[in-house]
């Protein structure tokens, strides 16, 4: 059975490493997976008044509807100040509301964090995991994906040429597909 997998990227930068890794990772999923990138940049900062006063921004409604039809989520994020970028946290908040109507509940997920530094955005990865636990998103435990020195991994075409890294990224995609198959 085909799985609909959404990719959410925590970086807005046009040439971001996260976007490049996400694009490359998307190509590694099996052919029976429908992989789509879901844009989160146009979501206004979450404000509960929008839901309480029935003046929900169109972008919230579109995002919530899109994510409701998704079977699993791949998060690819850099680290900002030892945490996730605001745009990604905002998307989690928008999708978790109104209370009791979270689009995240029970949706399998995988996290890949990337950084030009050696620790591979460890802080962002674990902060995101904390939010996903609260949102009741079963998350791939192994392999843990901290991609350090990402600027050395990608070639000029934004592809991963190193066979070891390629094999590792394949294992991440496979783990998400396997987890999604259990739900």
Angle among Cα 71, 82, 28 to the nearest 5 degrees reads: 35
Burial call 61-71: b when 16+ CB within 10 Å, e when fewer: eebbebbeebb
* Mean pLDDT within 64-85: 96
pTM of the full predicted structure? 0.96
**CB 182, CB 106: distance < 8 Å:** no
Residue 120 sits in a domain of what CATH number?
A: 3.40.50.360
Half-sphere exposure of 100 (CA within 13 A, CB side): 1
pLDDT of 59 higher than 90 = yes
pLDDT at 46 over 80: yes
Name residue 145's beta-bridge partners.
112
In 103-165, beta strands by DSSP E: 109-114, 145-147
Number of structural domains in the chain: 1
What pLDDT score does 156 carry?
86
Residue 32 to residues 15, 103, 110, 145, Cα–Cα distance (Å): 29, 23, 18, 23
Choose among 14, 41, 20: nearest CA to 112. 20
**Predicted local confidence at residue 120, as pLDDT:** 81
Q: Which domain does 138 fall in, by range? A: 3-181
- pLDDT-derived band at 159 (thresholds 50, 70, 90) equals confident
29 SS3 class: coil
**Largest interatomic CA distance in the chain:** 53
């Amino acid at each position: 059975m085909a799985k609909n997998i959404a990719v959410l990227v925590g970086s807005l930068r046009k040439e971001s490493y996260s976007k490049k890794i996400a694009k490359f990772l998307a190509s590694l999923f099996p052919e029976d997976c429908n992989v789509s990138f879901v844009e989160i940049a146009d979501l206004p900062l979450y404000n509960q008044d929008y839901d309480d006063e029935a003046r929900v921004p169109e972008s919230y409604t579109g995002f919530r509807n899109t994510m409701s039809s998704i079977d699993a989520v791949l998060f690819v994020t850099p680290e900002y100040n030892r945490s996730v970028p605001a745009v990604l946290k905002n998307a989690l908040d928008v999708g978790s509301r109104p209370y009791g109507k979270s689009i995240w509940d029970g949706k399998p997920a995988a996290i890949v964090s990337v950084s030009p530094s050696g620790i591979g955005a460890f802080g962002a990865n674990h902060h995101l995991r904390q939010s996903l636990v609260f949102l009741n998103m079963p998350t791939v435990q192994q392999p843990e994906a901290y991609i350090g020195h990402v600027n050395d991994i990608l070639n000029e075409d934004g592809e991963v040429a190193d066979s070891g890294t390629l094999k590792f990224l394949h294992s991440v995609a496979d783990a998400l597909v396997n987890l999604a198959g259990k739900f």
